[in-house]
Amino acid sequence: MAKIPPGETARNERLQKLQDAVDEWAESEKTRLDNEVKFLRAVLSGRKASDLGTKNLDKSSALLQAEINDFLNAGE
């Protein structure tokens, strides 16, 4: 078996530490991005729900106005 020079051993250790740090960072970044996606999807689904509520309110208002107009004009 070939003898590993002392400088190469230290280099390999530093490279392994770097690889471990990169792997840790990548995992935490993936978790952060997954959480951001969940948050943004929740915001979008909330917007859809509020849009639906606004549409229902608009239609209800139009129906109420039409019924009031029918009631007021029926006496004429």
What distance in Å separates the CA atoms of residue 41 and residue 36, rounded to the nearest whole number?
Answer: 9
Q: Is residue 1's pLDDT more than 70?
A: no
61: Cα within 13 Å, side-chain hemisphere:
6
Cα torsion angle, 28, 33, 34, 36, sign: positive
If one compares 44 and 15, the residue with the highest pLDDT of the two is 15
Predicted structure pTM score: 0.53
Residue 75 binned pLDDT confidence (cut-offs 50, 70, 90): low
Residue 15 binned pLDDT confidence (cut-offs 50, 70, 90): very high
Average pLDDT score over the chain: 85
| pLDDT of res. 71 | 83
